[in-house]
A and B are shown apart, each in its own frame.
Chain A
Amino acid sequence: MVSAKATGPHSPGSLLSVEDLSIADVSTLLSLTSRLERMQHAERSQLLSGRRVALLFYESSTRTRTSFELAAKSLGITTTLVSDKSSSIEKGESLKDTGLTLRALGAECIILRHQHSGAPVLLERVTGLPVLNAGDGTHEHPSQALLDLRTILTRLPGLERDVVDARSLAGITIVITGDILHSRVARSNAMLLPRLGARVILCGPKELLPEEAFGLGANVEIERNFDRALDGANVIMMLRIQRERLAGLELDLTGYMAHFQLSQDRLRTHAPHALVMHPGPMIRGLEIAGEIADGPQSAIEDQVRHGLAVRSALLLRALASADETRRLAGEVRL
């Protein structure tokens, strides 16, 4: 059959989608994360000393931006932040030209957050630089999936944190609930976690969870009844309703909360031991009861901490040689 030209990532250090990572790559990244976390500050800050990374943010962000920036600084990297406000992007400069400008200024890697799905693919293609996808439109947020994975491996009992294979999450049920349609976090998690053996259940109303979500992969199920979904869940991931992306969609919030809010009653009745996660930003009292976010089952702050660690590993993978990355990752196994 006639085939169109394939376009894949050029740069081995890039992370555009969780699909770019083999299970072995994920394992290496987790080992590297732990190794970097344990390393003395003085040693760590020499690893990528003097290297230059640009953070290019077309959308607002607290967690992702700050953790990438702090992760970079902890490795000795010089960072610069460009946001759509207060830059020539406001004057109409294209993503391509912004990327080429950053490259000309010495950026060796670009961390991109963008409101359009697929923007990191374009940026990588035109600059040839490693690009780390820090969230693109409603497509993916791969570093979030990695930090969520590490959070799960750390918090659930009996799991090996630093080495994974296709069975690592066997027997684990993960329920992702809320605005799946607009969630890049849901997509990345639903595409990554089943490859490690997890069963992923997506839950939400039709408007926010269309049937097409089946296509995210094998081992992804849809359950519209939240209570039923929660029965037997080991992990619950709650998502914010992304009002900024609803685009005319009318949603009955009272009805939504009645059916899909993670309330204390619901959690106590259906999943009293499950780990509760939220990628943030979280709207307390809407998708999740505030008490749960602050309660013993919550891993929300852990997620943020793991984000910092995992993003250090991603930066090292982007900027160090493959051998160096493997060497550092391998040391923890000795």
Chain B
Amino acid sequence: MKQRDVVVHSGRLVDPAAGLDAERDLLLRDGRVAAVEMPGGLRALQETELVDAGGCIVAPGLIDLHVHLREPGQAWKETIATGTRAAAKGGVTTVVAMPNTLPVNDSVETLAWMLAPERDAAVRLLAMPAATRGSLGAELTDFAGLVRAGAVGFTDDGKPILEDGIMRAALVSAAREGVLISQHAEDTRLTALTGGSSGVNAGALAFRLGLRGMTIEAEARLVERDIALLAEIERNEGLRPHLHVQHVSTARALAAIRAARQAGVHVTCEATPHHFTLTEDAVRGYDTNAKVNPPLRAAADRDAVIAGLLDGTVDCIATDHAPHAQHEKQVEFDRAPNGLTGLETSLGLALCALYREHGASIADIVTRMSTNPAALLNRSDLGTLAAGSAADIVIFDAGAEWTFTAGRSLSRSKNTPFDQALMLGRVRTTLVGGQVVYTDPDSAPS
């Protein structure tokens, strides 16, 4: 049956890719944006479904480059179905699934299983398979075959691609396929000495808590190594590899990225909402929901991440949504797994911290959460609502304050340090391919 046309009207369209921040009405047809018109310009159309966006921002749906959906293999934490419903509630219309599943997503078979309709994804699902077999860091996966099967990049996330030679080969192969390498930047040769992925920043607080901290050097040194590789490959191979640095958390790594950009190599990076809102103080009471890798840092590093978001050094906001069951997190701090959920709080935290407190514009927020991530994936049909692009839309009330309650999350897991935190900007409706995938029950139009 043919899908009915949808008209989204009365909202303020913020579409940085199209250079638009103005009142516009949208016509959605066959999963795409068919027309962008002045307010009221689509009134004459018959037989359309109307979505009233009065008082709200209408923006291209958010794109989250870094989520853990735990399937296959760890369905007690999350499934593709539950994780993508949490995404829809958060206004996220595209998620990129990380490969640290069981088994590791390192083959065309596993990738196809993840992307199959039977997984019942509520939003657009993309995947970055492992760069090395089993993410063991030794042997590259079949980049060409995986890209044909839908891979949008490669990563061994959860772990770094550590060996110089393997990282170099991964960057070269990815460049040939026209995709990026997304690096979890942690020099585990340094962190192994201090107790592995400790989940807490090295420094006075970690000392006082009797926890082994993770140093700034562990992140910065690997970023610096990777940037050196990019430059060397450009010189010697005539290729232009794209390095994407995940969840950057330190001023020093940001400085390296900023300098590399100026030098002209292709490096991009993401920051998580928890790294630009919280500091290491959140683990003061041994709260395992604030245990994350890289760890929450001191205020100076948190402020550097904010500055990087404001000056454009940080290209995008990604959540590193990492669900864990209560029984896994409700243990001694050292024994708890790293990670926290984030899909339902990313927009609310970005608006709170960057828009309200630091003066970023709504367009800046949309740029970091939709426009730029689409560009990193070379997806010109996403991250914009220009005519012809995918009808993936988030409609949100940018002025609405609300309190997040972890217990009401659609994720299967509730491991978040933001339970009962104040959010700004309420998602009213989320559409993917022109279809409503989420409607705020508190604001459903009568």
Contact = CB atoms under 8 A, between A and B. Distances in A.
A7 B285 contact: yes
B359 interface: no
Contacts of B353: 1-2
Contact of B286 (A3, A95, A117): A117
B421 A96 contact: no
B417 A118 contact: no
B45 interface: no
B278 A118 contact: no
B357 A1 contact: yes
A4 B208 contact: no
Contacts of A215: 203-205, 207-208
A122 B285 contact: no
Contacts of B203: 212, 215
B331 A96 contact: yes
Contact of B352 (A2, A181, A216): A2
Contacts of B277: 1-2
Interface in B184-213: 193, 195, 202-211
A126 B333 CA distance: 14
Nearest to B302: A1
A216 B333 contact: no
Contacts of A214: 204
Interface residues on A, range: 35 or more
A136 B209 CA distance: 10
A205 to B, nearest CB: 16
Contact of B210 (A3, A96, A122, A138): A138
A7 B289 CA distance: 11
B327 interface: yes
A214 B285 CA distance: 20
Given A122-B330, A215-B205, A4 B210 contact: no
A137 B334 contact: yes
Nearest to A126: B330
Given A94-B327, A138-B210, A248-B193, A116 B205 contact: no
The residue among B202, B353, B357, B417 with the most chain A CB atoms within 10 A of its own CB is B417
A2 B278 contact: yes
A5 B210 contact: no
B355 interface: no
A191 B207 CA distance: 12
Given A138-B210, A212-B207, A95 B278 contact: no
The residue among A3, A136, A184, A215 with the most chain B CB atoms within 10 A of its own CB is A3
Nearest to A94: B331
A3 B332 contact: no
A179 to B, nearest CB: 13
A119 interface: yes
Contacts of A199: none
Given A1-B277, A1-B357, A2-B353, A213 B207 contact: yes
B344 to A, nearest CB: 14
A210 B330 CA distance: 30
Contact of B349 (A2, A139, A140, A247): A2
B75 interface: no
A126 B286 CA distance: 13
A116 B287 contact: no
A212 B209 contact: no
Interface in A113-135: 114, 116-119, 121-122, 126
A18 to B, nearest CB: 11
B322 to A, nearest CB: 16
A105 interface: no
B325 to A, nearest CB: 12
Contacts of A140: 210
A143 B278 CA distance: 33
A1 B207 CA distance: 25
A184 B421 CA distance: 33
Contacts of A2: 277-278, 349, 352-353, 418, 421-422
A216 B209 CA distance: 10
Contact of B419 (A5, A114, A137): A5
B207 A118 contact: no
Contacts of A96: 330-331
B136 interface: no
Nearest to B352: A2
The residue among B193, B208, B289, B352 with the most chain A CB atoms within 10 A of its own CB is B208
B377 interface: no
B378 interface: no
B316 interface: no
Contact of A117 (B285, B334, B352): B334
A6 interface: yes
A8 interface: yes
Given A5-B420, A136-B210, A212-B202, A114 B332 contact: yes
B332 A122 contact: yes
A3 B287 CA distance: 13
Contacts of A139: 209-211
Nearest to A213: B207
Interface string B268-291: 000000000110011001110110
A35 interface: no
Nearest to A249: B193
A216 to B, nearest CB: 6
A187 interface: yes
B332 A118 contact: yes
5 contacts: A4-B290, A139-B209, A140-B210, A187-B208, A215-B203
The 7 residue pairs across chains A and B that have the minimum distance between CB atoms: A215-B204, A139-B210, A118-B286, A117-B210, A138-B210, A7-B285, A116-B332
Interface of B: 193, 195, 202-211, 277-278, 281-282, 285-287, 289-290, 327, 330-335, 349, 352-353, 357, 417-422
